[in-house]
Each structure stands twice: as C-alpha cells, then as structure tokens.
Amino acid sequence: MLRRLQSFALGMGSLALWELLVRLLAVPSYILPGPLAIAGAFLEDPSGLLAALAATLAVTFSALLTAVIIGLLLALLVSMSPFLRALFEPWAVALQVTPIVAIAPLIIIWVGDPFLALVTCATIVAFFPVFSSTLSGLAAASAEHLDLFRLYGARRWQTLLWLRLPAALPYFLSGLRISGGLSLVGAVVAEFVAGSGGFASGLAYRLLEAGYRLQIPRMFACLVLLGVAGLAINGGLGTLEAALARRFRG
Amino acid sequence: MLLGPSGCGKSTLLRLIAGLETADQGRLAWSPAPPRPGEVGFVFQEPTLLPWASAAENVYLPLRLAGVKRPQAMGEVKAMLAALGLAGFEEARPRELSGGMRMRVSLARALVTRPRILLMDEPFAALDEFTRQRLQNDLRRLWREEGLSVVFVTHSLYEAAFLASRVVLLSPRPGRIAAIHAAPPLAAEGEERRTAEAYLDFIRTLGLALRALHLAE
C-alpha cells in the first residue's frame, strides 16, 4: 500500500514538474503541451476519443482471441510430429519477422471488410509469442514424468491432456501476456496503415487526424489513452499469469 | 537390493526391468509372464509428483491411466495414503508437503496398482537421515505386511544392510554381478534392528566385499 502511495505521489510530482517547466520555459503547446492542456484536449471530446478507444480495443481483443486460438492449435499440431514442425515453423517465423506495415496494405486489399482486415493484421503480430511459448511448454514436461506415464502405458492423448498441457500452461501464460501487448501494437499499426487509406474509426486514426491538424494536445491525449490501455492489458494478463503459474509450477 | 558404485548400471538395470529402456543384447526372462502396465511400480530418485495436482490426484494417476473411474478409485487412493501416514493430506499440493511426505506420496502412487514388483531407484538418497530412517522402517513394514517384491537400488551399505533380504553386489564398468549376499535372519525392526549385532556384522561383510571389488578393479 505504501509503495503504491509512493509511486502515485511520484507520478503526480513528475506531472506537476512537467506542467511547471512547460509554463516557466513558455514552450508552445504545439511543440509540447503540459498535462493540463492534454487533459483539456481529452475533455473537449471525451465521447469521440473513448469511442475511438473502444474501436481499437475491439480490434485488439478480437485479434488476441484469434491469436490465442491459432497459436494454441498450431503449437499442438506442430508438437505432434517433426514433419509438421518443419512444414509450419518457417512460415510462422517468416510471418513474425516481416514488418506488419509492409504486409498490411496487401491484407487490407485482400480482406474486404475493414474490421476483419485490422484483426487479421493484429493477429499476425500477436500470435507468435503464444505459439512459440506454448510449443516450448509442450516440450517442457520432465523426462521423469514422461517415464512415469510410459510406465503405466499411457496413451498419447492421456499424456497430452494430463501431463503436457498442464506443464505447458505457465509457458502459454507468459506468451499470452506478451501477445496481449502486441495485439494492441498490431491494432494501432494496422489502423495507421488503414487510416491513411481513408478507413476511420480507431484511436490511431484520431491520432493521425490530430497530427494533420496540428492539434498536438489531442495527439497526446490519444497517446495517453493508448498507454493506459496497454498498461491495463499487461497488468490484467500479468495478474492472471501470476495466479495460475503458481498453481501449476508447484 | 542392488548395491554398487556410481556408474555401474544399477539404474539402467532397473529401467530395463521396468521396460523404460530396451536392451542392446540379451533378454529379460519373466516368470510366469512379462508384467502388464500397473504390475510394475516404480519409485524414482525424485518424488516426480505432478505439481498442479493434489496428493490424492497424484496417487490416483496410475489408476486413471488404466481407465479406473474416480469414484471407484478414491477409496483405494485414500487407504494407500493412510497406510503411508498421510491421512488428512489428501488435498495438499506437493509444494505444501515436506520432502519426506512427497516421497511417501510417490510410494503410495507406486503401490496403488498393487504391483507384482516394486522398483526403487535410490528413492531416499535426497532425504535427511532422520526422514530416511523413518521411511526405511515404513518400507520394511509395508514389505512384510503387503508381501511386496522389491528391487531396490542404492549405493549405501547401511541402507542395503537394513532393508535387504538379499544384496546383489554389482561391479563397476562393465556392470556385472560380483556377488550375492543373503542377509542374516533378524526379526528385529526399527531402532533395535539398527543396533543389532547381526546387522552391524552384515554391514561389515558388505563393506569388505565392496572394498575387494575396488581393489580388483
């Protein structure tokens, strides 16, 4: 509790210092607005900005869900045979290392529906951590535990269900946390690409728009909203991870 | 009781018997027939419990793998935990148990299928002396009461002398049977057994045999 109070006080203090410096040095708000100007920009159009945030979060969570499903299924599939692994893994890696801005225009053309196009882009960004960490988790069951299951003539599905999957859970959760942050990043990047093509709804588009109009405090307000959303996603998934990982790591 | 220095193949022999490894040469002869899954119990060096499952769930595992439904199995599981002094700890997770208790759960898991043969691979080596002695006493009790056949691997003379009815001495590289020593008849158990003259003599005999093995090498 005291630690929280301390960090809260520290945050408030640095905001006050920021405001003070901006005023003392007379920095124009189109270069660097103070916290009050940013809050003001938010309060000018809270419903518009919050609606944009909601649109971005809708993309983010749809992408995260899709990424989890695809990542899990692909990890399961690939863990079953070296052949499948050799078949799929290079593609997964290639997709991961290709910058999403480079393929986003293509995806937006291919996938007609704008929402689906954004979700597709964000999914491509987000799925890899879930996939790769679950894959290493599925291989993480100890040799002794595998011996134990073999000793009792366990079938493949029994070993998978009662040993490999529970052993993989902590790995999956740490991948999930990274994927959560990445799906927001992916959503914003995809919105940037799509937004410059005229599709308007998410927070990234509001950010671009404010930039074109030199409404710098409004840009900052968008950034703050994105930052808060990112922290909330990370914090939520982190709490989930901590709670479950303790149970499953022993 | 298999007794021998590190690297002589005690553990490998045990794993061969368990069917966890296959022999490059030679074969295993079983009488009357090779065991089916569940007829061999194995206690590893580590307790090897599933960290996410309770003590009862861990003991249930071999039965579960054999397709026994939970309601039918739980009576046996509870009885087995109680036989190892763990009544009341059914719902405890492995991390909430001490090292000795974890090994008891592991032993209960190995016994719950009523195996024809129980294989134990230095199971007590990582425990403190006091806990080890108590588990040794309990193992002897179970061995007498349940009529178990146990193959026990150890590199401890004292453990071999205390637990065994027969000690098979293995020579290092290549691992061969160097000698088989029958334990002296001794009815005493527990503390009395540990201080009995015959037990101490047996330790001395085994010690000399081991030394001779080293000198011959």
What tens digit of pLDDT does each residue of A165-196 get?
999 999 999 999 999 999 999 999 988 888 75
The class that CATH gives domain A46-249 is mainly alpha
A117-120 CB contacts, 8 Å cutoff, 24+ apart: A117/A190, A117/A194, A118/A59, A118/A63, A118/A187, A118/A190, A118/A191, A118/A194, A118/A202, A119/A59, A119/A62, A119/A63, A119/A66
pLDDT score at B216: 67
pLDDT score at A250: 58
What tens digit of pLDDT does each residue of A48-101 get?
999 999 999 999 999 999 999 999 999 999 988 889 888 888 888 888 888 888
Mean pLDDT on B28-32:
74
Residue of A146, A152, A157, A247 to mutate when probing chain B, most B C-beta within 10 A: A152
- Separation CA A62–CA B3 (nearest Å): 61
pLDDT score at A42: 93
Overall fold of domain B1-23+116-217: Rossmann fold (3.40.50)
Q: Do A152 and B62 touch (CB under 8 A)?
A: yes
What is the full DSSP assignment across A80-101? H-HHHHHHHHHHHHHHHHS-HH
Domains of chain B, by residue range, sit at 1-23+116-217, 49-114
Q: What is the pTM of this model?
A: 0.83
pLDDT score at A2: 82
Domains of chain A, by residue range, sit at 46-249
pLDDT > 70? residue A198: no
pLDDT score at B98: 92
DSSP three-state, residue B147: coil
Rg over alpha carbons for chain A, rounded to the nearest Å, is 22
Mean pLDDT on B152-160:
88
Residue B49: its chain A contacts at CB < 8 A? 250
Question: Within an 8 Å CB–CB cutoff, is residue B52 touching chain A?
Answer: yes
Reading the block at residue A136, the tokens are 């290493």
pLDDT > 90? residue A164: yes
pLDDT score at A81: 85
Q: Do A151 and B48 touch (CB under 8 A)?
A: no
Of A150, A247, A250, the CB nearest to B20: A150
